[in-house]
Structure 1
């Protein structure tokens, strides 16, 4: 053994020494040993060898050598310091490696030596070793066995409790020390005690300890100061923590990291970023550059606030300072990118990381799941479950993956996850609750009930999972039944229970039941909770009770940003974009800074209003406040410009994006689709795939819309098939509605009917209405009557179905049938939606209803229209009286056509604008053939571009042509 530890010149001396101990007890033997140990070069070399063995983990070899010295040289005063130091190294290595068996061997060796067991330093290190190995009881036993105890040993046992988070035992020990000894706590004692006060959340004891710190004169100590900053921050006393931080005479990197964490944990995200910048400025010499702790503190804040710009900056520092080699940093970076919606960046880090652990995999699985990327989630899971990288999926993996299972198409994959969990014997209530919720969302209520009944001890959370799952299922009434069962079981509902019940009432549109739940909330003083308050607002919004919403909103003294956003969105969802914008302006006047959701709502309102000017103002606001880089806001801007007729501006915003998300590609493709620009939409669709983005259901909806409005029948059917066969996506009602509308527009009515019959789910009212509309246009009476019969069964009180049938009869001159349909509508109190058009002029929006006088005076419009009609008559215009669905004379029909709302809006726009100004008109119904023909000729006669958005698509009229190519 000695030949490994000592260089060759010392071997003969060592062997002489050992032989002398065995052969005799001559003084010469001891002298030889002393010669070795008194030689500082030999001693240092010996310790260095012991240290090397400890670092490489070869503790047994190191122990045997030290054991020989300890056994042989107990009487040698020269040997003792060397043995003590070697044992100290071994104890430290045992603690670091949590090798308690080796620690016990060393403890036994020390206990067997009179001189060693009375050594204060070794006893202290033994106490610390047991603490590091997670055995504070052994630490306490060693401590209690000591006859006299110094401050180091008290600190060691206090530190032992601190390491193992036994905070009450720690405080008991501390009180015993200061009350039964003359020892004063030092800068090692206080940080442990202050940490314990934070751990048990006892502010009172913490304040008392702070007073003792002041009394002992340690307020200026760096370590004590750092502990106090963390203590006050843990309890939310941010201003006190900041004061302490500011008066610290000396700060180290731990001080800065502690203060940054205090700010970030208490929601002061922007301030934490500012402090980070201040730290780096103060540390120009490199003393305060970010370390691993800094990076893993700041990145979660970036993730929470979706601050991708700051996050990328932190990533840059990590690379520059070579911190990106640390696994914990890589995991934090992936988490930040995932939560900021940059899943591609997270994926790149994941692929480049050769040292992945289960947290790395779980982060990526959770990232794909949060994005709703079913394929990405399960592809990664399959790699993980295959064990390709020796990482085994745990409860968190499954818990992260389950939320992506939200519809029937993913039910088999959800069952796979469930089977794996059962096989691995994951007994975890939160996981069971997640399965209950997902099974219910996937429509498998029987499986949800099975998992629920399998939970032995059902908690409120278990009931909440079942009630919440039922609330989001196809039969939300079950959630009310489950709630009654929960009450019978003796458990009381909590905030999540009542919120789920309100969600169920929203889906049921049951104002009565929802009001009962609201009453329960008021009686139990729950309405002050923000989560419940927002649920109540959302319930009334879904029921269209906007007056009640406004009353509740006004009654709340301190409405936060999320409540403003909820009400603004509520107005938008209920078709009141003007009120939504008005409330947004009010919010800004109150000094509340809009967030991404606020701006998305504003752009949504601008999309519904006939006002490109308002949209441009909102875009300017987003640019001013650096919000355009947000992927979701960028999509909203693209969508807003597209829906306001400015597809070129949409394209400009899209092309200017630094990073294009799948949502931005979808928004641009859909923009081209509603403008009928199929060539551009298909080109973008192909480019999207080349950049590595997989198309989803929204992508295909945009492509199908483009094919529909451009008459690309073959291509549209091919993309529908490709969606299923190549990408494994299940077409929904919107996709089928688009294809059926496309076939109907082309006159292929029987093929459209066949597609409807072969759908995997029952066609809705919208699809049948579309088919009836094309039966009217193509005058197919037989099919039209059959489709109308289906419509009246599905929804007998829908006026537009009766209007379409009436128009079908009118087009065929069946006036008796027209009168019968209209009489039936009258008996049912159903009224036809009047044709209405809007135009924005000089910042104001003017509306026009068919055959009614205009805001500017009907005579003025009538006069100009007479002139226009004469001009376009010369160019071939003839009123298409077949469109008038009333039994009138030809002259009366022409008069009716002149009063169409889009004609009134266009004429008024020509009166109120200067030459060359583009007119933008919005209509609530499909533009008729007569108005379409007139608009084309007016654009040529008046040399104007006229943009008309009807309820189907955009029409760009210029130089006598329309962008739709007369195919709409």
Structure 2
């Protein structure tokens, strides 16, 4: 024990030194987030330093960083004195722990107790309001910031820029950025990030260039945002940013490497992306997810599965984002088998209740399966659903043609309290167009107006498309005239529907309206106008559009290239069509189908079949349309055996189930070749129920080859299926004429003429032809 004299001497000489030592130790531990720093708390109390405000503020910060929020709050409540640093410290702790409402409550308490807030206080409060989505209150705090003279503060400038940009006020965010005095790299990066999030990628790059000119050195976070913008703008920009990254000597850590991988995948440079990912040995879940997502988006499913296996072999466990990437890939290439396997893995990982994963499963099943039951089962099994869940379900029902169920699901979603977003509304409007439901369309339009959703250009474009698709062209034009904003899609949708209605000249007039609105054509609108030119057989207009596409750079769009092949082909300019195809750097399935169609239509049978072989050699998998074209080619080339071989290969080699259209082509092929017995064998064993077109095709073949008994049997079957179709009467009468039985032909024609439309109301069993067919002989 020290004597009283010794204690007095220590107090006069050593205590101030010890107090300073404590201050240094706590500051050091605070800066390094070292828990051991709280060991000094006890000697501070014993030596009577508990009233020292500087020490207490450092201890409060240490408790906030290294221990629970409850410990920090308890220490704060026990502090005998508090200043603005103390209050800001506890406020910041609440915000970091995402206790935003409690943070704002502390701010109200602070304002009532006297200390004047500083820039750090306002920063925490603004972050809390931003996280809560309380934009209006955030604007009020902005007013307080100005009132206290902090409007040009760099710290607050960054926070305010982030606040305004999150809620769509990009122009206000830009004005704030200009007002910030000598903005630091954080302010610049925040502004760039805001523009990237708003989809203003060119503007983001311009701000980055201004940053360089201002002499501010970008950091790794700056480059992450700039690389994201460059990924959308193209490889040229991405390479420049990559070069800057090297010039500035930024370390290739995992964050930067992941951003580079994202950028190169976005620019479809798969090899460069994979090479970058292997430049350093470090990897984490985010990098692997970027690789999987990039491969999936570029339809490299096999490589994505291999990467998935490599990731798990490296010891990095899959999470919901990993499974999302693979499931999205399955949806893109319609791989149901792999989707089912990933679903099993999701269940094993215990992620079946994860909402985004559940949404991806609903989307995958709806897109990949021929039925909706699997998608419905996943949807009904979800414990909680968001607007994306319902949108995936509604989209799936619409694509499968269940338009009433689609409408019912939409009503159920809104009844549950969830508000549809622009995607949901555009999908349900598309369903109204497909169902030709004008009444439902009018109801939805009323809801759109009531909720002010018509201010969204995506919804407005969907409305235009829906009205035009319901052949209400005047209403579509009225909508367009009243839209506050229009883009290329506005006019593309209208032109497409006009083409489908055969109003090709009206579709071409849309070009003038785009020009008056100073809206440039895109690849889709150009393809639509080329289709209109083909419909009018207007070579002059089409060639002018071709010239414009070359000058404007639209010729590189695959939709435009495919449109040119189709246009020249429909106008009979087969050599020009072949030349347009040859100029496509990477033809897709639509390109090849267009070429085969042109060649087959003008009797170039061997060239069409050679094109089919060339397509397969390039690795393009044929689809159902391809086989329709091939069967048509074989039919008109008299190649029955080859056509039958192609038909059989559909399912056996390519996994494509033949549909009714394929069977119609097959029966036409066999019928023209006189192989009707073979055709009838296929008819009896085909897995789907024949329709009237098949019977008419076979009946026409019987007429050509004058086979009356079989023709009568086929006519009977056809009329049983569709008694109101007059084609059966006409073809059968012609069959009797060509077979030397004009009396029977006259009877059929007279019966049809006498009964007129009343025949259409009667059943097949009471049809005069059916009554007489049993007794008629040749």
TM-score relative to the length of structure 1 = 0.63
TM-superposed deviation, 1:585: 2.7
Quick one: distance in 2 between partners of 1:260 and 1:640? 44
Verify: 1:232 aligned to 2:161, yes or no. no
Match among 523, 545, 568 for residue 495 of structure 2: 568
Question: 2:508 — aligned with what?
Answer: 581
Which runs of 5 or more structure 2 residues have no equivalent in the other structure?
3-12, 759-778
Question: 2:228 — aligned with what?
Answer: 299
Verify: 1:108 aligned to 2:39, yes or no. yes
> Greater CA deviation, 680-689 or 135-144?
680-689
TM-superposed deviation, 1:579: 1.9
Pairing 1:315-464 to 2, within 5 Å after superposition: 325-328=252-255, 331=258, 342=268, 348=274, 357-359=284-286, 376=301, 380=305, 383-384=308-309, 387-399=312-324, 414-425=339-350, 426-429=352-355, 431-432=357-358, 435=361, 442=369, 444-447=371-374, 450-455=377-382
Quick one: distance in 1 between partners of 2:659 and 2:272? 30
Pairing 1:395-794 to 2, within 5 Å after superposition: 395-399=320-324, 414-425=339-350, 426-429=352-355, 431-432=357-358, 435=361, 442=369, 444-447=371-374, 450-455=377-382, 469-473=396-400, 475-479=402-406, 506-509=433-436, 514=440, 517-518=443-444, 521=447, 528=454, 530=456, 537-546=464-473, 549-550=476-477, 553=480, 559-657=486-584, 664=591, 667-668=594-595, 672=599, 674=601, 697=624, 716-717=643-644, 719-720=646-647, 723-733=650-660, 736=663, 739-744=666-671, 746-752=673-679, 754=681, 759-764=686-691, 770-772=697-699, 774-777=701-704, 781=708, 784-794=711-721
TM-superposed deviation, 1:391: 4.0
> Greater CA deviation, 561-570 or 204-213?
204-213
Question: 2:764 — aligned with what?
Answer: none
Question: 1:161 — aligned with what?
Answer: 94
C-alpha offsets along residues 565-606 of structure 1, whole Å, 9 cap, x if unaligned?
322222122232222222233232222333333223223333
C-alpha offsets along residues 63-117 of structure 1, whole Å, 9 cap, x if unaligned?
xxxxxxxxxxx969889878865665555444xxxxxxx62x4323443455797
TM-superposed deviation, 1:787: 4.8
SS of structure 2 residue aligned to 1:229:
helix
Judge conservation of contact 1:226–1:255 (CA < 8 Å) in 2. Answer: yes
TM-superposed deviation, 1:228: 3.2
TM-superposed deviation, 1:610: 1.0
Quick one: distance in 2 between partners of 1:744 and 1:264? 61
Judge conservation of contact 1:526–1:532 (CA < 8 Å) in 2. Answer: no
Quick one: distance in 2 between partners of 1:213 and 1:547? 52
Judge conservation of contact 2:599–2:605 (CA < 8 Å) in 1. Answer: yes
> Greater CA deviation, 573-582 or 357-366?
357-366
Quick one: distance in 2 between partners of 1:277 and 1:486? 46
Which runs of 5 or more structure 1 residues have no equivalent in the other structure?
1-23, 26-73, 95-101, 831-968
TM-superposed deviation, 1:273: 4.4
Match among 175, 195, 218 for residue 263 of structure 1: 195
Aligned alpha-carbon RMSD (Å) = 5.1
TM-superposed deviation, 1:242: 2.3
Pairing 1:57-136 to 2, within 5 Å after superposition: 88=27, 90-94=29-33, 103=35, 105-113=36-44, 124-132=57-65, 135-136=68-69
TM-superposed deviation, 1:194: 3.7
> Greater CA deviation, 150-159 or 362-371?
362-371
Judge conservation of contact 1:290–1:317 (CA < 8 Å) in 2. Answer: no
TM-superposed deviation, 1:221: 3.7
C-alpha distance 295-476 of structure 1, shift in aligned 2 (>3 A): same
C-alpha distance 626-448 of structure 1, shift in aligned 2 (>3 A): closer
Question: 1:243 — aligned with what?
Answer: 175
Question: 2:769 — aligned with what?
Answer: none
SS of structure 1 residue aligned to 2:312:
coil
Quick one: distance in 1 between partners of 2:488 and 2:230? 19
Question: 1:185 — aligned with what?
Answer: 118
Quick one: distance in 2 between partners of 1:657 and 1:263? 35
C-alpha distance 497-119 of structure 1, shift in aligned 2 (>3 A): same
C-alpha distance 200-406 of structure 1, shift in aligned 2 (>3 A): closer
TM-superposed deviation, 1:431: 4.5
C-alpha distance 522-267 of structure 1, shift in aligned 2 (>3 A): closer
SS of structure 2 residue aligned to 1:387:
helix
Q: Which has the larger radius of gyration?
A: 1
C-alpha distance 119-533 of structure 1, shift in aligned 2 (>3 A): same
SS of structure 2 residue aligned to 1:594:
coil
Judge conservation of contact 1:615–1:640 (CA < 8 Å) in 2. Answer: yes
Pairing 1:11-50 to 2, within 5 Å after superposition: none
Match among 169, 186, 192 for residue 254 of structure 1: 186
Quick one: distance in 1 between partners of 2:626 and 2:200? 38
Judge conservation of contact 2:441–2:466 (CA < 8 Å) in 1. Answer: no
Q: Which has the higher contact order (CA 8 A, sep 6+)?
A: 1
Quick one: distance in 2 between partners of 1:222 and 1:527? 37
Judge conservation of contact 2:22–2:40 (CA < 8 Å) in 1. Answer: no
SS of structure 1 residue aligned to 2:556:
coil
Quick one: distance in 2 between partners of 1:477 and 1:139? 57
Quick one: distance in 2 between partners of 1:159 and 1:85? 22
Quick one: distance in 1 between partners of 2:246 and 2:87? 43
Give the length in aligned residue pairs: 740
Judge conservation of contact 2:224–2:255 (CA < 8 Å) in 1. Answer: no
Question: 2:8 — aligned with what?
Answer: none
SS of structure 1 residue aligned to 2:554:
coil
Judge conservation of contact 1:155–1:189 (CA < 8 Å) in 2. Answer: yes
TM-superposed deviation, 1:628: 2.8
TM-superposed deviation, 1:540: 4.6
C-alpha distance 490-251 of structure 1, shift in aligned 2 (>3 A): closer
Judge conservation of contact 1:514–1:539 (CA < 8 Å) in 2. Answer: no
> Greater CA deviation, 417-426 or 395-404?
395-404
Larger helix proportion of the pair: 2
Judge conservation of contact 1:233–1:262 (CA < 8 Å) in 2. Answer: yes
C-alpha distance 231-463 of structure 1, shift in aligned 2 (>3 A): closer
Judge conservation of contact 1:568–1:584 (CA < 8 Å) in 2. Answer: no
TM-superposed deviation, 1:198: 3.2
C-alpha distance 497-798 of structure 1, shift in aligned 2 (>3 A): farther
C-alpha distance 773-124 of structure 1, shift in aligned 2 (>3 A): farther
